[in-house]
Protein backbone atom coordinates (compact mmCIF):
# COMPACT_ATOMS: atom_id res chain seq x y z
CA UNK A 1 0.00 0.00 0.00
CA UNK A 2 2.83 2.41 0.84
CA UNK A 3 4.47 1.69 -2.52
CA UNK A 4 1.20 2.27 -4.38
CA UNK A 5 0.61 5.59 -2.64
CA UNK A 6 4.25 6.56 -3.20
CA UNK A 7 4.02 5.81 -6.92
CA UNK A 8 0.93 7.99 -7.23
CA UNK A 9 2.28 10.89 -5.19
CA UNK A 10 5.57 11.64 -6.94
CA UNK A 11 8.21 13.04 -4.59
CA UNK A 12 8.40 11.20 -1.29
CA UNK A 13 10.82 10.82 1.59
CA UNK A 14 10.31 7.78 3.79
CA UNK A 15 9.77 8.42 7.47
CA UNK A 16 7.49 7.38 10.31
CA UNK A 17 5.91 10.85 10.55
CA UNK A 18 5.53 11.46 6.82
CA UNK A 19 1.98 12.50 5.91
CA UNK A 20 1.81 9.82 3.22
CA UNK A 21 2.90 7.11 5.66
CA UNK A 22 0.26 8.26 8.15
CA UNK A 23 -2.48 7.91 5.48
CA UNK A 24 -1.39 4.38 4.64
CA UNK A 25 -2.96 2.46 7.54
CA UNK A 26 -6.51 3.82 7.30
CA UNK A 27 -6.37 3.35 3.54
CA UNK A 28 -5.06 -0.21 3.90
CA UNK A 29 -7.71 -1.27 6.41
CA UNK A 30 -10.45 0.61 4.54
CA UNK A 31 -9.68 -1.36 1.38
CA UNK A 32 -9.64 -4.62 3.37
CA UNK A 33 -13.02 -3.84 4.92
CA UNK A 34 -14.51 -2.94 1.53
CA UNK A 35 -13.33 -6.22 -0.01
CA UNK A 36 -14.45 -8.35 2.94
CA UNK A 37 -17.90 -6.76 3.14
CA UNK A 38 -18.25 -7.48 -0.59
CA UNK A 39 -17.56 -11.16 0.15
CA UNK A 40 -14.11 -11.23 -1.45
CA UNK A 41 -11.64 -13.70 0.06
CA UNK A 42 -8.65 -11.50 0.83
CA UNK A 43 -5.02 -11.94 1.81
CA UNK A 44 -3.52 -8.90 3.54
CA UNK A 45 0.27 -8.88 3.59
CA UNK A 46 2.50 -6.46 5.43
CA UNK A 47 5.19 -6.40 8.06
CA UNK A 48 3.19 -4.33 10.52
CA UNK A 49 3.75 -4.90 14.19
CA UNK A 50 0.97 -5.61 16.67
CA UNK A 51 0.39 -1.96 17.62
CA UNK A 52 -0.40 -1.21 13.96
CA UNK A 53 -2.15 -4.43 12.90
CA UNK A 54 -4.40 -5.30 15.83
CA UNK A 55 -6.46 -2.07 15.95
CA UNK A 56 -7.23 -2.36 12.23
CA UNK A 57 -7.77 -6.12 12.10
CA UNK A 58 -9.85 -6.73 15.24
CA UNK A 59 -12.99 -5.05 13.86
CA UNK A 60 -12.66 -7.07 10.65
CA UNK A 61 -13.17 -10.25 12.69
CA UNK A 62 -16.88 -9.42 12.56
CA UNK A 63 -16.96 -9.87 8.78
CA UNK A 64 -14.16 -12.38 8.16
CA UNK A 65 -12.56 -15.54 9.49
CA UNK A 66 -9.16 -14.13 10.30
CA UNK A 67 -6.04 -16.27 10.15
CA UNK A 68 -2.53 -15.05 10.94
CA UNK A 69 0.61 -16.23 9.19
CA UNK A 70 3.82 -14.92 10.66
CA UNK A 71 6.91 -15.41 8.52
CA UNK A 72 10.26 -15.63 10.29
CA UNK A 73 13.96 -15.69 9.42
CA UNK A 74 17.07 -14.88 11.41
CA UNK A 75 18.19 -11.24 11.60
CA UNK A 76 21.10 -11.70 9.18
CA UNK A 77 18.90 -13.22 6.46
CA UNK A 78 16.30 -10.50 6.98
CA UNK A 79 18.94 -7.77 6.62
CA UNK A 80 20.30 -9.33 3.41
CA UNK A 81 16.79 -9.48 1.93
CA UNK A 82 16.03 -5.89 2.94
CA UNK A 83 19.20 -4.69 1.18
CA UNK A 84 18.50 -6.75 -1.96
CA UNK A 85 14.92 -5.47 -2.23
CA UNK A 86 15.98 -1.89 -1.57
CA UNK A 87 18.61 -2.03 -4.33
CA UNK A 88 16.53 -3.91 -6.91
CA UNK A 89 13.24 -2.00 -6.65
CA UNK A 90 13.12 1.81 -6.29
CA UNK A 91 9.59 1.61 -4.87
CA UNK A 92 10.97 -0.29 -1.85
CA UNK A 93 12.54 3.02 -0.83
CA UNK A 94 9.10 4.01 0.43
CA UNK A 95 9.87 1.85 3.46
CA UNK A 96 12.10 2.96 6.31
CA UNK A 97 13.47 -0.54 6.93
CA UNK A 98 16.96 0.14 5.51
CA UNK A 99 18.42 1.88 8.51
CA UNK A 100 21.65 1.51 10.44
CA UNK A 101 22.69 -2.16 10.22
CA UNK A 102 23.97 -2.06 13.80
CA UNK A 103 20.38 -1.42 14.98
CA UNK A 104 18.86 -4.14 12.84
CA UNK A 105 19.46 -7.21 15.08
CA UNK A 106 17.81 -5.51 18.06
CA UNK A 107 14.88 -4.20 15.98
CA UNK A 108 14.48 -7.67 14.46
CA UNK A 109 14.47 -9.34 17.89
CA UNK A 110 12.02 -6.80 19.30
CA UNK A 111 9.50 -7.12 16.45
CA UNK A 112 6.08 -7.45 18.12
CA UNK A 113 4.07 -9.90 16.01
CA UNK A 114 0.35 -9.40 15.70
CA UNK A 115 -1.59 -10.74 18.69
CA UNK A 116 -5.17 -11.55 17.71
CA UNK A 117 -7.61 -14.12 18.98
CA UNK A 118 -7.37 -16.00 15.68
CA UNK A 119 -5.70 -19.16 14.37
CA UNK A 120 -1.97 -18.56 14.01
CA UNK A 121 0.79 -20.28 12.02
CA UNK A 122 4.50 -19.44 12.04
CA UNK A 123 6.29 -20.02 8.74
CA UNK A 124 10.08 -20.12 8.46
CA UNK A 125 11.07 -18.71 5.05
CA UNK A 126 14.83 -19.13 5.41
CA UNK A 127 14.98 -21.74 2.66
CA UNK A 128 11.58 -22.27 1.09
CA UNK A 129 8.64 -22.67 3.45
CA UNK A 130 8.48 -24.60 6.71
CA UNK A 131 5.86 -25.90 7.11
CA UNK A 132 5.55 -26.73 3.41
CA UNK A 133 3.23 -24.75 1.13
CA UNK A 134 0.41 -27.36 1.05
CA UNK A 135 0.17 -27.19 4.85
CA UNK A 136 0.08 -23.38 4.73
CA UNK A 137 -2.67 -23.44 2.11
CA UNK A 138 -4.64 -25.90 4.22
CA UNK A 139 -4.30 -23.61 7.24
CA UNK A 140 -5.64 -20.55 5.42
CA UNK A 141 -8.39 -22.39 3.52
CA UNK A 142 -11.15 -22.86 6.08
CA UNK A 143 -13.19 -24.96 3.63
CA UNK A 144 -10.74 -27.88 3.99
Render pLDDT for 92-138 as a digit per residue (tens, 0 to 9).
665 555 566 677 777 878 888 899 999 999 999 999 999 999 999 99
Give the global pTM.
0.74
Mean pLDDT of the chain: 81
pLDDT band at 13 (very low <50, low <70, confident <90, very high): low
E strands, 21-131, in order: 68-72, 120-124
Cα–Cα distances (Å) from 108 to 38, 48, 75, 102, in that order, read: 36, 12, 6, 11
Query: So what's the pLDDT on residue 31?
Result: 93
Domains belonging to the chain, first-starting first, are: 2-140 (3.40.50.300)
Amino acid sequence: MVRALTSASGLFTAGADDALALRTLPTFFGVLELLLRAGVTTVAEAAFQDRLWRPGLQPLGEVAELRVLHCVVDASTAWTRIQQRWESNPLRRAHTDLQDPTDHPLRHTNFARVALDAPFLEVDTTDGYQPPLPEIVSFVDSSK
